[in-house]
Amino acid sequence: MTDRVVGQGGSSGGDQTGSFNRYPVAAAVLACMGVALLLRSLGAPWVFIDGDVMLDPWDGAYHARRAYYSFINFPSVLYFDAYLRFPDGAPVPFPPLYDWGVAAVARLFGDSEAVFTKVAAWVSPIFAMLTVLPVYALGRRVRGWQVGLIASALFAVFPASVMNTSIGDLDHHAAVAFLLALLIACGAALLEADVESHIRRSLLLAMVRAALVLSWTGSLLYVAVGEAALLLGGLFVGRKQLFLSQSLGLGVSALAIAPWVYAAGSPIGGPFSSTEMSWLHVTALLAAASVWAGLWWWQQQSEAGAPVDQFKRAGVLVAIVGIGGLLIPPVRNAITPGIAFVAKADTWAPLNAEQAPLFAWMQSGPAVGADFSLTMFGVFSLAIPLLPIIVAWPLLRSERRALHIVLFCWAVVLSVLALMQIRFCNDLAPVASVGFALAIDRARTFIASKSNGVVGVAVAGVGSLALLWPALQVHTPRMPLFSAYMSGERPNFDASLYNGDSALVRFAELIREVTPETSGYFEAGAEPEYSVMSLPSHGHVIHYAARRPTPANNFGPYLDAEKVEVVNAAYNASSEAKVVELLDSVRARYWMTSEAFWLREGTFIHFLHRGDGAQQSSFNGAQSLRLVAESLPGTRPTFASFPGGAPERITPYKLWERVEGALLLVQAKAGDRVRVELDVVTNTGRQFRYAAATRADARGVARLRVPYSTENRAQGKGAITHAASLYTVASASHRVSIAVGEPQVLKGATLFVELK
């Protein structure tokens, strides 16, 4: 059956009439969805390894931790996590719906950990695949099914989306992009709906809006942009029914999120936090509802004539509501942190790769990023500053100004955000796909008008492929390995060690294996016994894969700036005494050290990690820190550890235990140099010699504190690092061998050694 679609355009060429058969078009949309899913599945060889599922170790790891809690305790939600900012614990900064939804879907398929991890691995690709639908719908509404299909294809292949929504990555980016695309598409449909369907469409929009607020901490920004765009577009429509339905819809959104806000309690930023779900979100929704309600009431009292009259009324109402909100101190004070984050005016921004700008020339200070532009959108990236003009150009002639005003508002905000921080490229991808599809289709029709339709399609197609080529190069290197994996080929080595992200997960799993279990992982209210100090960027993977608390994590200073400073101070300390003091301040029994380009000579961590804590010229042997485990040979570090490429034969990760250390009081000749040595075998089978030395004082006593026990020497315990000999204590003229028990090391017992 063949339909005629009229009035889907409103472009510079007037309404576009496109003849299409719905079944081939539907098949093409499904094909775009298939491509979207395929490209986001290319990382499967690094996710599904030997029966294990290696989830992303970064922000997605905390989503996994929280979702797994709900999966085990369904339908409970983890609102306060004792494993965050240990020993204090903290309210979870993420809104609850996304994590709870992952748990709910996983429960449909079973109740085992294997089921959960498999479902979690596919969440992002599925969301990205579904995002093709609102992208197509928005493109079709703007200028017909051709633009819808082009936009769907662009979204499917843009690395800006693919890189943030790949298999194994449980971060919220895919869900946010899906809800945002749905929000824009529903808003556009509402503005062009007939009077009878306003309420129905407003309620649908209300549910999408509420889902976005309940899924992402930064939702307040998008709610503000969305309502501003709809208000500007709605003033051109000027229907009382639209004003009323929008007011009711915003009220429904506020009512939908209020119970979740109440259940979550007060967030870190206070009850009106702008960077976490809070009562500020409820207040903002009700404030927006009051503006729409005011417009409806005013229109009831006297009909406004031209749109300029509507704008005047809206300006008065927005000013009243806005000024009223700013007069409330908690509301006014809560807005500042959100602005600081978007403007990158905080201390964390220069160190966070997600907050690097799109173009290298925009970087300033110690920026960590490179030029990401061609990686994200291909050559189309160069046109991102022009994107608002591309979508707004039809405003000059179109009678559908409301639709293009909405697109223009979103294009302006998302383009600026993406230029400032690459994390927003993922959210820009749906709107950019529609905008660039609109430009491609205009080029096609222009060329066709000068020659014929076939030439127009050919030139536009080849040109688009050329502009996309740098972006496509992101995908092609991974295809041979993916093809081999799908055909059943498997490497003859542990593939999880070859990939930096999965190798980090493996080490976190090792931490869980070699350390005592801690309380409270699944039991709300229980207090863990100790924490593991690590780089803040490794905190989330320790929460999920190691199931251990950390004092600082990937939330950075937004969660607890003081504890981030404690961790940073430990990594920069120049003495063991200072490190031990910092570990004790956050009850950290273990310290995970990492090999990285920033390790500096003269710091204690440099001596400890690279020298195994054995005596060197500038450091004596470690007294209160002993090696528990190290990463396996061949383990690759993460890209962030060595952006320029990692050196050969390094050990990316080591785990150290904080112990009191047994105190050896060695009786020797006054002034004699006394040295203690111990052969140590690590969990990987590597052997090194621990050593420490000092001189006997005037009374002939040398004091040496040692961190290793010799009790497990005979058993040859392989799971953790262990002694391979007795301690040798020697001076210039005497030598003895001694045993040191585990209780003596843990309690700091004193042992007397006679060398005379």
Strand pairing class (750-754; 662-667): parallel
Residue 304: its pLDDT value, please? 65
For the chain, which residues make up each domain, given as ranges? Answer: 659-756
Distance in angstroms (rounded) separating the CA atoms of residues 9 and 141: 7
The continuous run of DSSP H or E covering 655 comes out as strand 653-658
Q: What is the fold of 659-756?
A: Immunoglobulin-like (2.60.40)
Distance in angstroms (rounded) separating the CA atoms of residues 616 and 703: 18
Q: Decide: helix, strand or coil at residue 522.
A: coil
Residue 315: its pLDDT value, please? 85
Strand pairing class (722-723; 687-695): unpaired
Q: What is the CA radius of gyration of the chain?
A: 30
Q: Decide: helix, strand or coil at residue 665.
A: strand
pLDDT-flagged residues of the chain (< 50): 1-17, 344-345, 365-369, 714-717
User: H-type helices in 553-628, by residue range?
Assistant: 557-572, 576-585, 604-611
Beta-carbon contacts of 755 under 8 Å, excluding residues fewer than 6 positions away, are 666, 667, 668, 672, 674, 729, 730, 731, 734, 735, 736
Distance in angstroms (rounded) separating the CA atoms of residues 558 and 571: 20
Give the torsion sign (CA, 338, 340, 343, 349).
negative
Phi, psi of 85 (to 5 degrees): 35, 50
Phi, psi of 268 (to 5 degrees): -55, -40
Percent composition of the chain: helix, strand, coil (DSSP 3-state, to 5)? 55, 10, 35
Residue 347: its pLDDT value, please? 55
Tokens of 568: 């940073």
Residue 265: its pLDDT value, please? 93
Residue 219: its pLDDT value, please? 93
Residue 720: its pLDDT value, please? 85
Strand pairing class (673-681; 722-723): antiparallel
Residues 43-102 pLDDT 10s:
999 999 988 999 999 999 999 999 999 999 999 999 999 999 999 999 999 999 999 999
Distance in angstroms (rounded) separating the CA atoms of residues 188 and 239: 15
Query: pTM value?
Result: 0.92
* Inter-residue contact 673 to 712 (CB < 8 Å): no
The continuous run of DSSP H or E covering 540 comes out as helix 539-541
Distance in angstroms (rounded) separating the CA atoms of residues 481 and 489: 9
391-394 contacts, C-beta under 8 A, 24 or more apart: 391/142, 391/431, 391/434, 391/435, 391/438, 393/12, 394/10, 394/11, 394/12
Strand pairing class (735-738; 727-730): antiparallel
Residue appearing with tokens 């080490």: 507
Tokens of 18: 């496109």
Residues 542-574 pLDDT 10s:
999 999 999 999 998 889 999 999 999 999 999
Distance in angstroms (rounded) separating the CA atoms of residues 548 and 78: 16
Annotate 493-525 with b (16+ C-beta within 10 A) or e (fewer): eebbbbbbbbbbbbbbbbbbebbeebebbeeee
Phi, psi of 513 (to 5 degrees): -70, -35
Tokens of 276: 């976490």
Beta-carbon contacts of 176 under 8 Å, excluding residues fewer than 6 positions away, are 212, 215, 216, 426, 427
Strand partners, 655: 592, 629
**Nearest residue to 656 (alpha-carbon basis) of 695, 615, 632, 622:** 622
Torsion angle in degrees (nearest 10) through CA of 219, 220, 226, 231: 160
Tokens of 253: 């959104």
**Nearest residue to 35 (alpha-carbon basis) of 159, 177, 175, 157:** 157
Q: Decide: helix, strand or coil at residue 676.
A: strand
DSSP annotation string for 416-450: HHHHH-GGGHHHHHHHHHHHHHHHHHHHHHHHHHH
> What region, left, alpha or beta, does residue 642 occupy, with left being phi > 0 and alpha being psi -120 to 50 degrees?
beta
C-alpha pair distances (Å), 301 with each of 205, 294, 296, 297, 756: 27, 11, 9, 6, 106
Tokens of 351: 């160190």
* Inter-residue contact 574 to 583 (CB < 8 Å): no
* Inter-residue contact 275 to 217 (CB < 8 Å): yes
